[in-house]
Amino acid sequence: MASGDERHGEEEGNYGDATMGALREIYAGYAWADVASLEPEAAAARVRVRGAAQAVRAVGRRVAFLVLRQGSATVQCVVSRAGGGMARFAAGLSRESVVDVAGVVSLPREPVRGTTQQLVEIQVEKLHCVSRAVSNLPISVEDAARSEEDVARAKAAGEQRAHVGQDKRLDNRVIDLRTAANQAIFRVQCQVENVFRQVLLSEGFVGIHTPKLLGGSSEGGASVFKLDYNGQPACLAQSPQLHKQMAVCGGFERVFLVGPVFRAESSYTNRHLCEFVGLDAEMALRDHYSEVCDVVDKLFVAMFDHLNKNCAKELEAIQRQFPFKPLKYLETTLRLDYNDGIRMLQEAGVDVDPMGDLNTEAEKKLGELVRDKYDTEFYMLCRYPSAVRPFYTMPCPDDPRYSCSFDVFVRGEEIISGAQRVHDPELLAAQAEARGIDVATIATYIDAFRYGAPPHGGFGVGLERVVMLFCGLGNIRKTSLFPRDPNRLAP
């Protein structure tokens, strides 16, 4: 607590450093409030708020203005108690220190610039520091919140503006996450996950959880994290694919899950991570794999509609630091045959293999062509060549060179991969062996189809990639809370 000459009169015990438990009696009579909820209707209310000291400005020895931040909301707190001790204490607070403020909500004569709550302020009666931040922070929230455009404009004007690079941000992620844009990004991400769950639940899906420790690769190839499992070789799951199929065969018919996915790829691109959050679904089919496309269509149009309608403030906050154009999408999602996509690229002068996979450049070019022709940046590309799909993908009955599969693209980048699965155990084993997968390591998976298996299909999408592409952020590390790429294992 404060001491000496500054602790006198009505300021006695009303400010200083204190622990949470010591403040309970001192703050009796003040109701807890959220900064974001402080509006003119709350005028004259006696409130208590806790947040970070974003900025402090002293005016003389007896007045100080403290900007308190809670999440992405900020409010001005006016410290002007008799004696000046509280104002001097406020002026000595280090930025980002966690403080408790109690006082009366009042209406400023003019809107407060630089805060989200511009029409109110708090006349401070009590002020205590709960946790002091170090005086020299490795990065400042103000610098981390600055847009590339702001830095460029300042440089053009001959002014100095600190620019915090991506690695510096991630090294100090706890501070970086406090910017308004990051607060918004991960609130949007939460909504994406919520809509994913809600829409699929409304469509009769059941939420499940699958193991992340496997005895063998789930996708084929060498991009797995290998480990010792009680003396047995094992790896981290590249996908929940095999087990979500087994759940459908187990009688659930429609399942979904949200969980971590691990890929040991030495990929340093803007859209790959070694660990990401997978949004996966699998469902029994009645007649055709297009039923999976129907679910994807309904799910993602509902998701985009929800974000645009209910996350306007968050999208605006992201827009201020990372400008982007709203995503163009149709009420009914465009479905384009793979051969038609190849034809569009060839007519545009792009050299592509009709039976090969599309590289990143071709995908982006096709995205531009589709946008210009159909006025959408969200579309499905169906019926991929079998050779470029996983071993468990069902070949097309009319031409086995092609598969009952699809990918979905946003802004020219692949975001969803889906298909009908092979439910015939002999065909499944043959296709696995042809891809170099040791059939013995997936024997329990193949055997699951020997006991009666309905035709089924599904899809998977990375949560981080959905948010990155919807918000046009350009780098998936911006949408991973604590990203894991080939070089990063901390914080």
Catalytic residue positions, numbered: 263, 265, 271-272, 414, 417, 465
Query: Do 439 and 222 meet the contact criterion of CB atoms below 8 Å apart?
Result: no
Instruction: List the one residue out of 107, 6, 8, 4 whose CA is nearest residue 61.
Output: 6
β pairing state of 63-70 and 226-229: unpaired
Compute the distance between CA of residue 179 and CA of residue 12 in angstroms, rounded to an integer: 35
- The burial of 413, by beta-carbon neighbours within 10 Å (0-12 exposed, 13-18 middle, 19 or more buried), is given as middle
Residue 222 CA from chain centroid, whole number: 28
Compute the distance between CA of residue 322 and CA of residue 111 in angstroms, rounded to an integer: 26
Produce one character per residue of 289-318: b if its CB has 16 or more CB atoms within 10 Å, e if not.
Answer: bbbbbebbbbbbbebbebbeeebeebbebb
- What single-letter DSSP state applies at residue 324? -
Instruction: List the one residue out of 283, 369, 307, 358 whose CA is nearest residue 334.
Output: 369
Query: Do 86 and 77 meet the contact criterion of CB atoms below 8 Å apart?
Result: no
Compute the distance between CA of residue 46 and CA of residue 78 in angstroms, rounded to an integer: 14
Q: What is the 3-state secondary structure (H, E, C) of 382-403?
A: ECCEHHHCCCCECECCCCCCEE
Instruction: List the one residue out of 278, 288, 279 whose CA is nearest residue 200.
Output: 279
- Match 């607060």 to its residue by tokens: 183
Q: What six digits make up the tokens of 13? A: 């015990």
